[in-house]
Structure formats: structure tokens, C-alpha cells
Amino acid sequence: MQLFIGGASAGKRDAVKQRFPSAVWWRLAPGQRLHEVAHVMLPNTPLVLHGLFEWLTAAQDSDFSSDEWRAQWREDLQRLNQTAAEDNVTLVIIANELGRGLVPIARDQRRLRDLNGWFTQDAAAHAEQVWYVRHGLLQALKG
Amino acid sequence: MIVFVSGGARSGKSLVAEQCVQQYADGKTCYYVATADIYDSEMAERVGHHQARRANHWVTLEAPLNIEQAVAQVPNGHAALLDCLTLWASQVMFNTQEDAAPVSETEAFALLVRALHDARRRGVTLVVVSNDLNEAPLPASAEVWRYVEFLQKLHRWLAAQADQVLEVVAGQSIEWKAAGAP
């Protein structure tokens, strides 16, 4: 798994397109379990997951606590990663950096920022490579 | 030689950029392309801090909108600091210059492109300073999103064009692109 993280309009998509020109792109649907994404995998073809911001925004509408969410996506990430390895699929996740500003006043914005940070940490823990994208330039943070 | 310096608020990016200009100026007069439009006393104080630090061998060129014209006034082979792109971009987008004709985003981008090409052609070292604003939740306002997208377009283009790209954190520089790197 590879994780690309950066701020808004930092150039993440272009960086991924350049490195994985033949990849299948999948926008996470609100409420979709991560391991279900395995259905769109093509053997030997990289799979790019994006739309994380909207996916996490939708996650707030459920009765799950942040801890429950975290436990679920950790388990799902593990499953998805395993399927990807079996099919020789490089999983690529595009994530937003949202943590370098003021604490938002609105409760849902605070929670979204927390969920986003936790998800990014969990995905990075699974990833063999983590890239930080800033103004179109890349820095390897892991791998 | 083009250098792009950015960082968070009060990260010390202007000081890093000034030192960079002085280093490349090698004793010659330094030029300061000031984009700040002084519209209130807080802004005047801000500008005052920056001005007080720059000694007499700096010449200030005011450019709330037309940075191309300002850069054109920098003599061949000299070094100039453009401070800062963030303010300039907001003045473009929010049309704060009452006595000037509005400049579209496309026109503004072209001004920047031409200013950079002019600097390169005439051996002017141009150090551009900007703020990093895109790594925090943005307010749910279409105008703000458009502004950040515009600013990021400028940042990505600058980072691609620049010979050196620096991120400043607490007055320290992190080199994202090294001078002399391909």
C-alpha cells in the first residue's frame, strides 16, 4: 500500500497519475466498507482510492463513536491489504492533510479533522511507502 | 535564479527570504517588490516590522497588482524579493484595488509567468514568498475554496519552475528542491 498525503490542491492526484498511469481509480462511496472495494480490483493493476474527505464526512452521520470507526477501518484496511497482496494489486490511498490550522469551532469539523488524522495514521502504518505532497513536490516519509 | 519560500504565519519566512536575496545580491542594492496594500493601522504596523529590518540598501517597489511591471524595474543581474504572493492573490481575487481595473485570475497568472521569465532572461534573482494555507480544514465558502485553489495553482507552478524551494518552520529552512538540482 502507498499513501499520498497533502493539503488542498497540493497536487496529490497528479503525483499519483504520474506514478500509476494504468491504475483503476475508485471514489469511496459514503457508508462503503473499505474491504468491499476489493470487488473493483483488477489483478496486477494498481487501485487508487480517493474521496476520503467525503467518506469521512459521511461517517459522522452514523451512531458509531470515533473509536468504533477506527476499529472498523483498521480491520477493513487489514483485509483489503491482504486481498491486494493476493491479487498483486498496489493499493494507493489519497489523503488530506487537515491538521495544521486552528481547532475548528464547529463540532463536526473538529471530529472530521480527528477522524482524518487517525485514518491517515492507520493507513500510513499499513503502507510500505508514504509520500508527502506539497506544492506539487514530493517527499518520502516512509519507505 | 528563482527561489520559492513558503511557510505558516510568522514562521520567519520573510527573514529567510531576505537573507537569501542578500546572499545572491552579493553587496549590490537589493529590491523589494511589496505587494501589501496598506489599508489599516494593523497592516501599517506589519509592514513597519518588515521595513525596519531591511537596511538602507533596499529599494522598495510597490506592486499591489502589477508584479510584472515592478519586476521589470529591477536592474539586470540584481536580486529581488517578492513579498508576498498570498496577499497579491487575495488582492487579485477580491478586487481590493478600488482605483485599479480588476485583474482576472488568468491575467494574474500570466503576470506572474511573465515576471518570472523576465527575471530569468535578465539574470535577476527573484525570491518569492508565500503562505501555506492549505493544510487545515477550510471554511465552507465557495469563495475561500476558489482562492485556495488559485493560490495553490500559483504555488505548484512556482515550485515546478523554481531552482530552489524552501519551507520555513520556526525560522529554519527545509529544502524541498535544492539549488543546482536538476
Residues 98-127 of A with CB under 8 A from B: 98-102, 104, 109, 112-113
Q: What is the pTM of this model?
A: 0.89
Domain CATH code at residue A130:
3.40.50.300
User: Which residues in chain B have their CB less than 8 angstroms from residue A7's CB?
Assistant: 132, 134-136, 152
Q: For residue B147, give the H/E element and its range.
A: helix B142-161
Mean pLDDT on B10-37: 93
ipTM confidence: 0.85
Cross-chain residue pair B135–A136, CB shorter than 8 Å:
no
Q: What is residue B182's predicted lDDT score, i.e. its pLDDT?
A: 55
Inter-chain contacts counted by CB atoms under 8 A, chains A and B: 64
User: A8 touching B, CB under 8 A?
Assistant: yes
- pLDDT range class, residue A11, cuts 50, 70, 90: very high
Query: Range of A115's domain?
Result: 2-142
* B11 annotated as a binding-site residue: yes
Mean pLDDT on A4-11: 97
Question: Which residues does B96 contact at the CB level (< 8 Å), separation at least 6?
Answer: B37, B39, B64, B90
Q: Lowest mean pLDDT: which of A95-104, A112-121, B50-59?
A: B50-59
Cross-chain residue pair A8–B138, CB shorter than 8 Å:
yes
Per-residue pLDDT of A37-68, as tens digits, reads 999 999 999 999 999 999 999 988 888 999 99
Distance from CA of A75 to the nearest CA of B (A): 27
CB count, 10 Å around CB of A119?
Answer: 23
Q: What is residue A121's predicted lDDT score, i.e. its pLDDT?
A: 96
* B83 annotated as a binding-site residue: yes
Domains annotated on chain B, with CATH: 2-177 (3.40.50.300)
**Burial class, A4, CB count within 10 angstroms (exposed 0-12 / middle 13-18 / buried 19+):** buried
**Burial class, B26, CB count within 10 angstroms (exposed 0-12 / middle 13-18 / buried 19+):** exposed
Tell me how far apart the alpha carbons of residues A28 and A52 are, in angstroms, rounded to a whole number: 7
Per-residue pLDDT of B36-75, as tens digits, reads 887 777 778 877 777 777 767 799 999 989 999 999 999 9
Active site residues of B: 50
The answer to whether A111 and A60 have CB atoms below 8 angstroms apart is yes
Q: What is residue B119's predicted lDDT score, i.e. its pLDDT?
A: 98
Domains contained in chain A, number: 1
* B14 annotated as a binding-site residue: yes
Distance from CA of B66 to the nearest CA of A (A): 23
Distance from CA of B136 to the nearest CA of A (A): 4
User: Which residues in chain A have their CB less than 8 angstroms from residue B168's CB?
Assistant: none
Per-residue pLDDT of B55-65, as tens digits, reads 677 999 999 89
